[in-house]
Structure 1
Amino acid sequence: MTATGTGDGRGPLAGRVALVAGATRGAGRAMAVELGRVGAMVYVTGRTTRDHVSEVGRATETIEETAELVTEAGREAGGTGIAVPTDHLVPEQVSALVRRIDTEQGRLDVLVNDVWGGDHLLSFPFSGPMWEQDLAGGLRMLRLGVETHLVTSHHALPLLTRRPGGLLVEVTDGTAESNRRYREHLYYDLAKNAPIRIAFGLAQELGERGCTAVALSPGWLRSEAMLDTHFEVTEETWREGIAKDPHFAISESPVYVARALAALATDPEVARWNGQSLDSGRLAREYGFTDADGSRPDAWGYIADVVYGGREASAEDYR
Structure 2
Amino acid sequence: MVGSGGERVAWVTGASRGVGRGIALALGRAGWVVYVTARSSAAGRTGHLPGTVEQTAREVSAAGGRGVAVVCDHGDDTAVAAVAERIDAECGRLDLLVNNVWGGYERLNAGAWAEWNAPLWEQPVELFDAMFAAGVRAHYVALRLCAPLLIATSGSLVVTVSFAVPEAEQAPYCAAYAMAKSADDRLALAAAVQLRAHGVASLALHPGLVRTEGVMQFAEHLDLVDSQSMEGVGRAVVALADDPDLMTLSGSVVSVERLADRYGIDVMS
Residue aligning to 1:111: 97
Whether the 8 Å CA contact 2:45–2:51 is kept in 1: the answer is no
Residue aligning to 1:235: none
- Quote the Cα distance in structure 1 between the aligned partners of 2:215 and 2:12: 21
- Quote the Cα distance in structure 2 between the aligned partners of 1:197 and 1:181: 20
Residue aligning to 2:241: 265
Residue aligning to 1:198: 187
> Residues 1-319 of structure 1 correspond to what in structure 2 (within 5 A)?
15-54=7-46, 56-58=47-49, 60-74=50-64, 79-122=65-108, 123-125=112-114, 126-174=116-164, 178=166, 181-182=169-170, 184-227=173-216, 229-231=217-219, 241=220, 245=222, 247-291=223-267, 293=269
Q: Which runs of 4+ in 1 moved over 6 A?
A: none
- Quote the Cα distance in structure 2 between the aligned partners of 1:250 and 1:267: 25
Which amino acid is 2:157 matched to? L
Q: CA deviation at 1:285?
A: 0.5
Query: Deviation per CA, 1:47-78, whole angstroms, max 9, x where unpaired?
Result: 00010222x442x310100001111111xxxx
Bigger radius of gyration:
1
Which amino acid is 1:30 matched to? G
Q: 1:292 to 1:132 in 2, by over 3 A?
A: closer
Query: Deviation per CA, 1:244-284, whole angstroms, max 9, x where unpaired?
Result: 54x32121211221111000111122111001111111111
- Quote the Cα distance in structure 1 between the aligned partners of 2:38 and 2:129: 20
TM-score by length of 2: 0.90
Whether the 8 Å CA contact 1:89–1:151 is kept in 2: the answer is no
- SS, match of residue 250 in structure 1: coil
Q: CA deviation at 1:291?
A: 2.8
5+ long unaligned stretches in structure 2: none
- Quote the Cα distance in structure 2 between the aligned partners of 1:184 and 1:160: 34
Q: CA deviation at 1:35?
A: 0.9
> Which structure would you say has the larger RCO, counting Cα contacts within 8 Å and 6 or more residues apart?
2
Work out the percentage of aligned pairs sharing the same amino acid: 38
- SS, match of residue 37 in structure 2: strand
Residue aligning to 1:296: none
Which amino acid is 1:18 matched to? A
- SS, match of residue 139 in structure 1: helix
- SS, match of residue 45 in structure 1: strand
TM-score by length of 1: 0.77
Query: Deviation per CA, 1:216-266, whole angstroms, max 9, x where unpaired?
Result: 121111001211x212xxxxxxxxx5xx54x32121211221111000111
- SS, match of residue 208 in structure 1: helix
Q: CA deviation at 1:292?
A: 5.2
The number of equivalent residue pairs is 260
- SS, match of residue 251 in structure 1: coil
Pairwise CA RMSD: 1.9
- Quote the Cα distance in structure 2 between the aligned partners of 1:222 and 1:128: 23
Q: CA deviation at 1:37?
A: 1.1
